[in-house]
Structure 1
Amino acid sequence: MTDQSPVRDPLLQPLTIKDLTIRNRFMSTSHACGLERGGFPQDAYQAYHEEKARGGIGLSMFGGSSNVDIDSPNIFQQLNVGTDEIIPHFQRFSERMHALGAALMCQITHLGRRGDPYAGDYLPPIGPSPIRETLHRAIPREMDEHDIDRVVRAYGQAARRCEEGGLDGIETLAAGHMIGQFLSPKTNKRTDRFGGSLENRLRFALMVHEEIRRCTSDRFVVGMRYVVDEGIDGELSPDECVRAARILEAEGSVDFFNALFGSMDTARSLSEEVFPGIGTPAAPWVGAVGRFKREVGLPVFHAARLSDLASARFAVAEGHIDMAGLTRPQIADPHMAAKLMRGEDHRVRPCLGAGHCQGPQRPKCLHNAATGRELTVGHSIAGAETPRRAVVVGAGPAGLEAARVLAERGHSVRIFDAAPQPGGQVLLAAQAWRRDLVGVIDWRLAELEILGVHVECNRYIDSADIAELDPDLVLLATGGVPQTDFGPGGDLVLSTWDIVGRQAKPAGEMLIWDNTGRHPALLAAHVAQAEGAQVQLAGIDVNIGQDLAYPETTRWLKEFAKSRLRPEGSMRLSSVVRDGNRLCATLTNELTHETFDRVIDQVVVEMGTIPMNDLFDDLRQASGNDGVTDIHALRDLKPQPRPRKGFELHRIGDALSSRNIHAAIYDALRLCSVS
């Protein structure tokens, strides 16, 4: 009989590199998490990683793109490993992580041509050749040997600081950064001893790692974030990647490879190959990484859409990788290793790959509002001193999260929804390449089942029904309805919900006007085109998807490029009138104030939602707080003032205003975790 106990799981086996034993195969790969302060990993940054250690992680690699010198500037909240001032922060950080049993390493790098000439000290970016990088837009100055020697020394000193800070090791970043720019024939056109042959192009990497070895002890672990195939946007072949890796291994330069696939200098490759997300296959490069691993003798790490335990377990069990980079999954659930060890892997909050953690608010997860807020709301839910009778109306993301948190605290919870199934707007959004969004709903339904809370659907609840339930606390998560009142002719248009929800059939020529820069208008255009409509897409913003994270915008641009749809920006919908059996829509260009008439069959408008306030208005008078939420108490995570009589009434999510899933879930979490 096969031993099915969690301790035999391949992901829970230790890995030893030199003198370092990592307790399991769970790893968080380095990323610029957005929590640095002054270029240093201070309290919030450390607490973010410490939660993963508390959750059982084996190795936390932090400091994505940490800069070794001043002409590698801070352009996306990296750490500054170019100064000794960082050492005390490292010492405190490593003590905290080691006390919880986790290993800790930092990524160090020089951005090279990925730098910004107008950031930091206004120094020109440098690189092996003066070739502009399209994504970061700088034209670098070609390095001479003085530059090369200086940067090599900077790498060594940065590594020294990491070891003096108590870290277990480091990795350099080759792919797309300075080391990789020398290695790739796409970015290295030199004719001196650093260009031409593979051996010459690898010379800079060997010099850097020789200096790192000189500046650190033999026990210090040194690896490389290494590309195994540059993909269709690159020129470095898999064979050359293997040959270079074998040279690095033979020279004793590295102790592990952290494998990447793809290039970093186009938005497409970055969002589809290097960091693939929602709408892409699971674990797409494990096979390629496995082929690389079989050609080298060192441990190989990897992270790219290893979005669940099953994918990671397969990759480790089949020998494709040695450490599973579950980076975004541990942003969604930093306790996934501990849950696996307890045999509760079915309770792991899933990573959806939505890309919210890569946006301006990083590292905040789309549906875990505690991540990145470890010093405030945190990941643990404390029991309530006094159980209360709570009623939640609405079973979208906000309502389900409210019910989950209240039940976790020990309150008696009833949750109702007028729709035939829970999910709210997510059921509309989880279409096409965004199907995985349904995980926001499915995980919460599973948690509520464990907590003994049943979602009562097809239940339209009015104020009299709520009075009969005699609650102490009422939370309205009733969402909103589409806003279409743009001006003259608002009664003639459809909403994006009509198209996405198939309540109206797309026909003929259709104009879709986007006033939010979010997903609904883009999804409506996708649906309408698929059903045969001739779609014109216009928006108020300069570009489409301006409210979205870059991987989402890039994916929509690719979808529309394939379907030959060319969105128009800076366009305001001024009016719609009937023109026989068609419609005449007038658009105004926001830049020139020219107006254009379009005669079409259908006009679809996206303006977000407005709250459904009928139930709230009916309940206010009977409530003890007049439906007022103390926003200062909400911000400070303090309990709301308890009314002397009557129930406490609050609105959350789109019942307040039109926002995204994360905001709705955060409303529920911070209100209910102290209720």
Structure 2
Amino acid sequence: MTAIQSITKDPLLQPLTIRGLTLRNRVMSTAHASGMDDANMPDFRYQRYHEEKVKGGLALTMFGGSSNIAPDSPSVFRQLDVGTDRIIPHFQDFSERIHKHGAALMCQITHMGRRGDAQVGAWLPMIAPSPIREQLHRNFPREMDKYDIDRVVRAFGDAAWRCQEGGLDGLETLAGGHLIGQFLSPLTNFRGDEFGGSLENRVRFALMVHEEIRRRVGDNFVVGIRLSIDEGEGGTRFDEALQIAEILSREGSVDFFNCMVGRMDTDVTIVEENMPGMSRPLGPFLETVGRFRQQIGLPVFHAARVTDVATARHAIRDGLLDMVAMTRAHIADPEIVNKIARGEEDRIRPCIGASHCLYKKPHCIHNPAVGRETLLPMQVPKSDAPGKKVVVVGGGPAGMEAARVSAERGHNVVLFEAAPKLGGQVLLAARTSWRKDLISIVDWRLAELDRLAVDVRYNVYAESGDVLAETPDHVFIATGGLPAAKHFNGADLAVSAWDLLSGDAQAARSILICDQTGRHEAVAVADHLSAAGHEVTLATSDAQSAVEMGYPDRTVFHKRLAEQGVSTHPYLTLHSIRREGNRLVATMEHRLTHSLQEWTTDQVVLEAGTDPVTELYDGLRNASVNDGVTDVDAMARWEAQPVRDRPGFSLHRIGDAVTSRTIHAALLEAFRLTVHL
């Protein structure tokens, strides 16, 4: 079989027809709240974000995660408002933009019920089938009466009509965890009337909603439902989900099921079940969804950590799904389908499940252009003046990205790296427990640098003479940072997370970790060491550990540290360390009371960020045409740096060589400076 025949027969590239709508392949992006709305409307920025995905080849992009249909379902996390006719012109523009690329467009509509917030929007009480408080959003809803039920059913119909008027190809309602699902679930429905008790009664509201939607949009519009097919103990069971699906299918009001597993009403369930990340295996619910598909006669969609092409292909080829949703994977690389079709699967930028896109919506931890489609190009264009000599010093994330983008622009790139490997701090971070997939950030760039023939010189501690000998046009200093200097009595007795992960220091039996950043480093090392059997105590200067992380990572770390017996103590900063015999005594100051506490341990680990390594940069400034100054105003305008009117090289430092920051910040800085070269 030739390569072309293999691609043509690829299960992922086969079309699918649903109620007269033909989808060009089996790959989609599911609805999510991207945080790119303008006053709850999908304006230009929002549309461009989705347009990149369909330009990249997928068949269906679904948008508007948790789009609200009524005023007592207000925007909690920047959802769209489908409860007003004001949205119709936006839908029409959106549909035209997506359809010209040959893809389909659908919106998710919902009423959040108890999941909303009574103290935003119109400050209306939340409603629910029963007055059961949701732990995650913390509101006490009032029980719906018949008037509420009829009102919300009409609102669903009105919203569906707006979707159709806007030229969309279809819609889905969101049941799992939201109002429709709250009626379905015995965990949240304790009613004694015709809407509670038996399964037939609990499904009544969903049936009314979908019958009203079908009445308003007619027979030529695709309508689906996102349904939790197994909520776990006490919730909607798998066998009940099958009965619900059979009832909705029988009435002809539903054309597809977008299946989820689990719940979304607590920190833990939303991270482990609803939106699983790096801490969970690939495709954790595929087999369950596959069993559901085998027993119903309608197409099944599914999204949950299907991040790689092999898993996606398995899901379609083996009949587990009809449409595979690679939502976060398309945030990492909107070109997935095109790369499959071109036989370039090995060039797909991998989604590593870091959940950065959930925390800093919708930015990918290692694709700086995502969410900035109106500011940065998704594909790096060739320069109008290629062939410049670019020297990059330092092969961490910032340095690798600067080298990659400069080479994509068509320039000749030399990358000096003092170590025998590229990757910088990511190499250390990837050694910790469940975060091993971080190494893909490095591996993908290594492959790209090799493809682009970048001249990488390992084991070279570059000095000014090495740089100048290359006669550069542009120089980027990405020498990173070192653990921040310590200024207290006994500071020399502390070690850093780097020391332990690199093997420069051996972990002792009992360890006190003092975290002064709230970032990944301290909790990752605490997790790593406690899992290896060490007795770990974590002291943080914040009100809780991991405050600078998004809720997915923070929740995973909190759970793991609790399971492993790590005791965490808030509001403490390291004051001094002294030695007593063969042990250490750390004096900690409580930030609120200023009282001093003494802690005896075998080892003290201090995490306080990094100080930039700037010797090379400082030595090159006078020789550069810009004195090493990066024009902040040009950066803020997302423009190229000013061109100097005298010969010589421009000099910029990037990443942690500027100050202690995150992986995404380092990559973004490198990208935005080099994409204009």
Report TM bin, short chain. over 0.9
**Whole-angstrom CA distance in 2 between matches of 1:518 and 1:257:** 39
**Whole-angstrom CA distance in 2 between matches of 1:2 and 1:481:** 51
CA shift for structure 1 position 29: 0.2
Q: 2:667 corresponds to which residue? A: 665
After superposition, residues 66-215 of structure 1 pair within 5 angstroms as 66-215=67-216
1:453 and 2:454 are equivalent in the alignment: yes
Which amino acid is 2:656 matched to?
A: D
**Whole-angstrom CA distance in 2 between matches of 1:489 and 1:204:** 67
Q: 2:253 corresponds to which residue? A: 253
**Whole-angstrom CA distance in 1 between matches of 2:567 and 2:582:** 26
**Which moves more between the two structures, 496-505 or 111-120?**
496-505
Q: 1:427 corresponds to which residue? A: 427
Task: Kindly indicate whether the alpha-carbon contact (under 8 Å) linking 1:59 and 1:102 is maintained by their aligned counterparts in 2.
Answer: yes
Q: 2:591 corresponds to which residue? A: 590
For each residue in 1:496-545, what CA deviation from the matched residue of structure 2 results, as whole angstroms up to 9, or x when unmatched?
A: 11122222111132210111111111122123324443211010111111
Task: Kindly indicate whether the alpha-carbon contact (under 8 Å) linking 1:507 and 1:532 is maintained by their aligned counterparts in 2.
Answer: no
Q: 1:500 corresponds to which residue? A: 501
CA shift for structure 1 position 577: 2.3
CA shift for structure 1 position 558: 1.5
Task: Kindly indicate whether the alpha-carbon contact (under 8 Å) linking 1:500 and 1:523 is maintained by their aligned counterparts in 2.
Answer: no
After superposition, residues 355-394 of structure 1 pair within 5 angstroms as 355-359=355-359, 361-386=360-385, 387-394=387-394
Task: Kindly indicate whether the alpha-carbon contact (under 8 Å) linking 2:527 and 2:557 is maintained by their aligned counterparts in 1.
Answer: no
Q: 1:482 corresponds to which residue? A: 483
Q: 1:225 corresponds to which residue? A: 226
For each residue in 1:307-338, what CA deviation from the matched residue of structure 2 results, as whole angstroms up to 9, or x when unmatched?
A: 11110000001010000100000000011111
**Whole-angstrom CA distance in 2 between matches of 1:486 and 1:160:** 65
Q: 2:326 corresponds to which residue? A: 326
**Whole-angstrom CA distance in 2 between matches of 1:235 and 1:381:** 48
Task: Kindly indicate whether the alpha-carbon contact (under 8 Å) linking 1:90 and 1:162 is maintained by their aligned counterparts in 2.
Answer: yes
**Whole-angstrom CA distance in 1 between matches of 2:462 and 2:377:** 33
Task: Kindly indicate whether the alpha-carbon contact (under 8 Å) linking 1:510 and 1:533 is maintained by their aligned counterparts in 2.
Answer: yes
- Find the residue that maps to 2:568 and give its secondary structure: coil
**Whole-angstrom CA distance in 2 between matches of 1:640 and 1:500:** 38
Q: 1:472 corresponds to which residue? A: 473
After superposition, residues 28-39 of structure 1 pair within 5 angstroms as 28-39=29-40
Task: Kindly indicate whether the alpha-carbon contact (under 8 Å) linking 1:499 and 1:528 is maintained by their aligned counterparts in 2.
Answer: no
**Whole-angstrom CA distance in 2 between matches of 1:530 and 1:204:** 47
Q: 1:650 corresponds to which residue? A: 652
**Whole-angstrom CA distance in 1 between matches of 2:124 and 2:78:** 18
- Find the residue that maps to 1:5 and give its secondary structure: helix
Percent sequence identity is: 55
Which amino acid is 2:648 matched to?
A: G
After superposition, residues 400-415 of structure 1 pair within 5 angstroms as 400-415=400-415
Q: 2:346 corresponds to which residue? A: 346
Task: Kindly indicate whether the alpha-carbon contact (under 8 Å) linking 1:484 and 1:606 is maintained by their aligned counterparts in 2.
Answer: no
Task: Kindly indicate whether the alpha-carbon contact (under 8 Å) linking 1:473 and 1:647 is maintained by their aligned counterparts in 2.
Answer: yes
CA shift for structure 1 position 247: 0.7
**Whole-angstrom CA distance in 2 between matches of 1:255 and 1:638:** 47
Which amino acid is 2:426 matched to?
A: V
Q: 1:275 corresponds to which residue? A: 275
> Root-mean-square deviation (CA), in Å?
1.2
For each residue in 1:273-301, what CA deviation from the matched residue of structure 2 results, as whole angstroms up to 9, or x when unmatched?
A: 11111131111111000000011000000
1:605 and 2:606 are equivalent in the alignment: yes
CA shift for structure 1 position 665: 0.5
Task: Kindly indicate whether the alpha-carbon contact (under 8 Å) linking 1:506 and 1:531 is maintained by their aligned counterparts in 2.
Answer: no
Which amino acid is 2:374 matched to?
A: L
TM-score of the aligned structures, taking structure 1 as reference length:
0.98
- Find the residue that maps to 2:346 and give its secondary structure: helix
**Whole-angstrom CA distance in 2 between matches of 1:508 and 1:57:** 52
Which amino acid is 1:660 matched to?
A: T
TM-score of the aligned structures, taking structure 2 as reference length:
0.98
Which amino acid is 1:245 matched to?
A: A
For each residue in 1:462-495, what CA deviation from the matched residue of structure 2 results, as whole angstroms up to 9, or x when unmatched?
A: 1011111111111011110011415333222111
**Whole-angstrom CA distance in 2 between matches of 1:467 and 1:404:** 21
For each residue in 1:393-431, what CA deviation from the matched residue of structure 2 results, as whole angstroms up to 9, or x when unmatched?
A: 111111111111000000000111001111100000012
Which amino acid is 2:419 matched to?
A: A
For each residue in 1:613-669, what CA deviation from the matched residue of structure 2 results, as whole angstroms up to 9, or x when unmatched?
A: 111111112112111111111232322223413211100111111111110110111
1:522 and 2:523 are equivalent in the alignment: yes
**Which moves more between the two structures, 459-468 or 255-264?**
459-468
Q: 1:284 corresponds to which residue? A: 284
Task: Kindly indicate whether the alpha-carbon contact (under 8 Å) linking 1:611 and 1:658 is maintained by their aligned counterparts in 2.
Answer: yes
**Whole-angstrom CA distance in 2 between matches of 1:170 and 1:529:** 47
**Which moves more between the two structures, 504-513 or 59-68?**
504-513
**Whole-angstrom CA distance in 2 between matches of 1:42 and 1:508:** 56
CA shift for structure 1 position 2: 7.2
Task: Kindly indicate whether the alpha-carbon contact (under 8 Å) linking 1:371 and 1:378 is maintained by their aligned counterparts in 2.
Answer: no
- Find the residue that maps to 2:273 and give its secondary structure: helix
Q: 1:243 corresponds to which residue? A: 243
| Unpaired stretches in structure 2, ≥5 consecutive residues | none
- Find the residue that maps to 1:350 and give its secondary structure: coil
Q: 2:58 corresponds to which residue? A: 57
Task: Kindly indicate whether the alpha-carbon contact (under 8 Å) linking 1:308 and 1:329 is maintained by their aligned counterparts in 2.
Answer: yes
CA shift for structure 1 position 254: 0.3
CA shift for structure 1 position 28: 0.4
Q: 2:540 corresponds to which residue? A: 539
CA shift for structure 1 position 433: 0.2
**Whole-angstrom CA distance in 2 between matches of 1:532 and 1:199:** 51
Q: 2:17 corresponds to which residue? A: 16
**Whole-angstrom CA distance in 1 between matches of 2:598 and 2:78:** 46
CA shift for structure 1 position 23: 0.7
**Whole-angstrom CA distance in 1 between matches of 2:180 and 2:455:** 56
After superposition, residues 616-655 of structure 1 pair within 5 angstroms as 616-643=617-644, 644-655=646-657
- Find the residue that maps to 2:606 and give its secondary structure: strand
Which amino acid is 1:203 matched to?
A: R
Q: 2:300 corresponds to which residue? A: 300
**Whole-angstrom CA distance in 2 between matches of 1:376 and 1:566:** 45
**Whole-angstrom CA distance in 2 between matches of 1:196 and 1:10:** 43
Which amino acid is 1:51 matched to?
A: E
- Find the residue that maps to 1:37 and give its secondary structure: coil
Task: Kindly indicate whether the alpha-carbon contact (under 8 Å) linking 2:530 and 2:566 is maintained by their aligned counterparts in 1.
Answer: no
CA shift for structure 1 position 5: 3.0
Task: Kindly indicate whether the alpha-carbon contact (under 8 Å) linking 2:291 and 2:320 is maintained by their aligned counterparts in 1.
Answer: yes
Which amino acid is 2:369 matched to?
A: A
**Whole-angstrom CA distance in 1 between matches of 2:389 and 2:417:** 18
**Whole-angstrom CA distance in 2 between matches of 1:67 and 1:486:** 52
**Whole-angstrom CA distance in 1 between matches of 2:198 and 2:13:** 42
**Which moves more between the two structures, 172-181 or 210-219?**
210-219
**Whole-angstrom CA distance in 1 between matches of 2:616 and 2:21:** 60
Residues 531 and 194 of structure 1, relative CA distance in 2, 3 Å threshold: closer
CA shift for structure 1 position 594: 2.3
**Whole-angstrom CA distance in 2 between matches of 1:606 and 1:566:** 17
- Find the residue that maps to 1:494 and give its secondary structure: coil
- Find the residue that maps to 2:52 and give its secondary structure: helix
Which amino acid is 1:84 matched to?
A: D
CA shift for structure 1 position 7: 2.1
**Whole-angstrom CA distance in 1 between matches of 2:503 and 2:121:** 51
- Find the residue that maps to 1:435 and give its secondary structure: helix
**Whole-angstrom CA distance in 2 between matches of 1:243 and 1:320:** 19
Which amino acid is 1:316 matched to?
A: I
**Which moves more between the two structures, 450-459 or 527-536?**
527-536
**Whole-angstrom CA distance in 1 between matches of 2:505 and 2:450:** 35
Which amino acid is 2:25 matched to?
A: N
Task: Kindly indicate whether the alpha-carbon contact (under 8 Å) linking 2:531 and 2:564 is maintained by their aligned counterparts in 1.
Answer: no
- Find the residue that maps to 1:469 and give its secondary structure: coil
For each residue in 1:95-140, what CA deviation from the matched residue of structure 2 results, as whole angstroms up to 9, or x when unmatched?
A: 0000111100000000000011111111111000011111111111
Task: Kindly indicate whether the alpha-carbon contact (under 8 Å) linking 1:500 and 1:527 is maintained by their aligned counterparts in 2.
Answer: no
